[in-house]
Amino acid sequence: MNHNVPRTKWAHVTLDERDAVEREARAKAAARAVLEKQKRKAPVPPVPPREAYPPIAGCESVVKYERLNHIEEGSYGVVSRARNKETGEVVALKQLKLDKEKHGFPITSLREIHALMEARHPHIVQLKELVVGDTLNKVYLVMEFVEHDMKTLLGSMRTPFLQSEIKALMQQILAAVAYMHDRWIVHRDLKTSNLLMTNRGCVKIADFGLARMFGDPQRAMTSLVVTLWYRAPELLLGAEVYDTAVDMWSVGCIFAELLLRVPLFPGKKETDQVSRIFRLLGRPTPERWPGYTALPNAATLGKSAAPSQSSLRHRFRYTTDATLDMLERMLTLNPARRISSEDALKHVYFTESPLPAHPDSFGSFPSAASGEKRRALSPSIPRRDAAQQYPLEFEWKQQNVE
């Protein structure tokens, strides 16, 4: 018992009460010591892995899907075929590439998600939901699964599409493009590998990684968009103020590819691309394209020894006048004179014989996306040193694209 406690603390406390308080304090201290000793000896339980990152509200975990096979890898994501474990539905699962991002969620992914949420159309691939993994850099887009992409299909078909089938495909593509443009969305990467097709002949536009909302008045945007082979001449010449006409040029290139079964302008680099365009369509003049000389790259890329007249009619000499007229209107050098998607849908091409085929009449094709090996690679943006050379005739030759 400690009798040296200051009197001020125990002035009104008896000796028995003071002894009781001190015994209680010693008991509590001993109990704490025992607990600390037990904690040091007890093993630390493992932390279970998270199935989803909690701050991403409303997103379920990717574990609800079972991956079936890899489909393809692009600049902005890796696409796999997957199955919903609960419903059995087969979907396309796109993991966004976020590993190298230092400034948060990439703007390209935000634009793609926003565009897919805005564009709900039968001929635009449907975004079903977003799911997440166990870390911040694992975000997935769950989209409807479509069996084919047009590029692979064109490379593997033994017989070409019928003219009535090409009309049906073009009608669907233009309907989707018109829907996007009416909602102020410019896709900026239309090409055959971004066109998906079901076994029932239904076309769906995919890959909105470069899509952008535009407005009036127009604002400057980067000209480094659209895969080279499908890039409009105003973009090649460096235009930063442009509109939906860049998509219509790409649609024209797709139309030509459906007719020829080879890309129309398979350039190796920008200079070669411009040269190919001018050789076929004729070099631009101030009368045909007012103001083109003021574009940033016109001085270096705009000079060409190409003829002044177009040879498109000779290249497509076996097509009807209506087919050629619509193709010429899509591949007009001057973007201000290029046909719009709405006007293209009203073109006489779709009313002359043969009429567009019903999608149900399309034959079934083996699906490369379901696991079969692809025979032709999709034309991502070609490397500047790529040595690919496509034939300029009508017959198709299988090539390896780097």
Q: Map residue 322 onto helix, strand or coil.
A: helix
The residue annotated as part of the active site, out of 189, 207, 243, 247, is 189
Distance of alpha carbon 247 from alpha carbon 227, whole angstroms: 11
Distance of alpha carbon 39 from alpha carbon 119, whole angstroms: 57
Our CA angle for 278, 284, 290, nearest 5°, is 155
User: What is the phi/psi pair of residue 116, to 5°?
Assistant: -70, -30
Q: Would you give the end-to-end CA distance of the chain in angstroms?
A: 91
Distance of alpha carbon 195 from alpha carbon 383, whole angstroms: 22
Residue 189 known to be catalytic? yes
- How far, CA to CA in Å, does 20 sit from each of 7, 14, 25, 31, 367? 17, 10, 9, 17, 85
Please give the helix or strand (H or E) that residue 259 lies within, else none: helix 245-260
Distance of alpha carbon 213 from alpha carbon 207, whole angstroms: 15
Residue 1 CB partners (closer than 8 Å, separation 6+): 19, 22
Contacts of 311-320 with CB under 8 Å at 24 or more apart are: 311/279, 311/280, 311/282, 312/280, 312/281, 315/280, 315/392, 316/256, 316/259, 318/394, 319/259, 320/349, 320/352
* DSSP letters spanning 34-75: HHHHHHHHSPPPPPPPPSS-TTSTT-EEGGGEEEEEEEEE-S
Our CA angle for 197, 200, 205, nearest 5°, is 25
* 294 contacts 317 by C-beta, under 8 angstroms: no
Three-state SS sequence of 145-206? CCCEEHHHHHHHCCCCCCHHHHHHHHHHHHHHHHHHHHCCEECCCCCHHHEEECCCCCEEEC
Q: What are the residue numbers of the active site?
A: 189
